[in-house]
A and B are shown apart, each in its own frame.
Chain A
């Protein structure tokens, strides 16, 4: 009859010695390995209690930065929106009024700035395109949510809170 498989290896069942038949040394040897591993350093992290260190350039949730005097850096130039491959950024520009100089650094500012986090692919090109050092991707992870509309982050969630020091991500491994 024609063979249906191309398997040609013959399995040899060697006669086992009495010691091997008892299986006790083998079981003992196996258990030793298990016990040894119990006392090794764990490679896993107990996540919510323990958090691992992120890279200095990690690309997580965005932040719109303020300068040292607490004024918003963004000037609503739209370069980030143009450079975004996922078309996640939208903004509405407005002109700075008299008396708002302590709020906005430039004469034009973003009255409305939204990033759709469901579209965003965290590529970091917006950070790269920004001429005013206004947008940065931080080490914060994006939290989950039950509602799609909650993923559209407006200025309330993006702008760096007042009073906090400059964002830790000031590290740039090269100079521009």
Chain B
């Protein structure tokens, strides 16, 4: 342990704060009651516990209790070299590991000052796999959401299509979900031979499926009735809570870090940012949030097509190309504080590094997780909703508990 590590002191008075219930029974009115939702509940998408104070069917208060999936990522990172943290970065948002890896690798590369030397082919491959993973993450989000509010078929259909992405990424990297594929300064492997053609085939396969999804879920009357005008998140509240990603865009702000920061090769790629327009209800309701995700799937397909086009023409595979050629022999960044952010499927994912030693181990690696900020807004937007709508609101946030608790 380094000398300037912080020594944590035991504070017995903090013990009360870890009380399982924040609402005292004595504070309740006679008709109110406390319902515990979770931590083991199929529709909380992981181990999240919600303390819900209800008045009959109406929700008075929702308090999320987190930490059931805490795996000490940040403490782990303080004890590992930068390149060995990558497998653990995968495990933050396990539904979109490539995106996290991409942002993490980008951050460390910028700290080392080598981000300009990365060959464009590597960057295009990174964007390609990250967008594939974004698709799979949105499929999981939309499918699980539809299942939450009672439609089982879309979930199975989404899982069927997601399986293709998992297989594609397994072909590339050797693992189905936790890839460890994007490395600092390079990649684990080059794309396998024939990947581009197979990927294009998949894009053509997926397009009719997305139309089907649009009809099956988005235009379904039951779905619309369950989601339109539910859990409306006004734009000012979204900004105040630091909400990002599809949730913020559904509230009407055209804000996407892929455009705003224009990192990696995204400025060379042509794509739009869909925002919520309140087609079925108000702007920023649950329907808009899901709709933004589905629209983003179309945009991801566009990005994938352009990447493949580039990867087969300008930056085509050559025998001399080695994805590991640029790997830094020694990862020794300057002593500095550095924050790097990017757009994961859930929102702005940021890594804050503090480096103050001569080793390749960060002194601090803080994760700014989008799911955490997005989740924090639910106690606000569930005010006055019905208990059944709580599930609908919760699912539309599309959080991954692995990233909330880290």
Binding site for B on A (CB under 8 A): 4-9, 11, 43, 54-59, 83, 85-86, 121-125, 128, 137, 173-176
Contact = CB atoms under 8 A, between A and B. Distances in A.
8 contacts: A6-B229, A83-B84, A86-B87, A122-B175, A124-B188, A125-B84, A125-B180, A137-B174
Chain B interface, >50% SS class: loop
B171 A55 contact: yes
Contact of B58 (A4, A43, A57): A4
Interface string B175-202: 1001010000000111011000000000
B207 interface: no
B75 to A, nearest CB: 14
A174 B88 CA distance: 25
What 5 A-B pairs are tightest by C-beta distance, nearest first? A57-B174, A85-B84, A123-B87, A59-B174, A55-B171
B175 A8 contact: no
Interface of B: 58, 80, 83-88, 91, 160, 163, 167, 170-175, 178, 180, 188-190, 192-193, 225, 228-230, 232, 281, 321-324, 384-386, 389
Contact of A8 (B80, B193, B229): B229
A55 B85 CA distance: 24
Contacts of A176: 324
A130 B281 CA distance: 59
Given A8-B281, A9-B228, 15 more contacts: A6-B384, A43-B163, A55-B170, A55-B192, A59-B174, A85-B80, A85-B85, A85-B87, A85-B88, A121-B91, A122-B178, A125-B83, A125-B84, A128-B188, A175-B322
B323 A174 contact: yes
Given A85-B80, A175-B322, A55 B174 contact: yes
A58 B170 contact: yes
Contacts of B192: 55-56, 173
A176 B225 CA distance: 58
Contacts of A173: 189-190, 192-193
Given A85-B80, A85-B87, A124-B180, A9 B229 contact: yes
Contacts of B167: 55
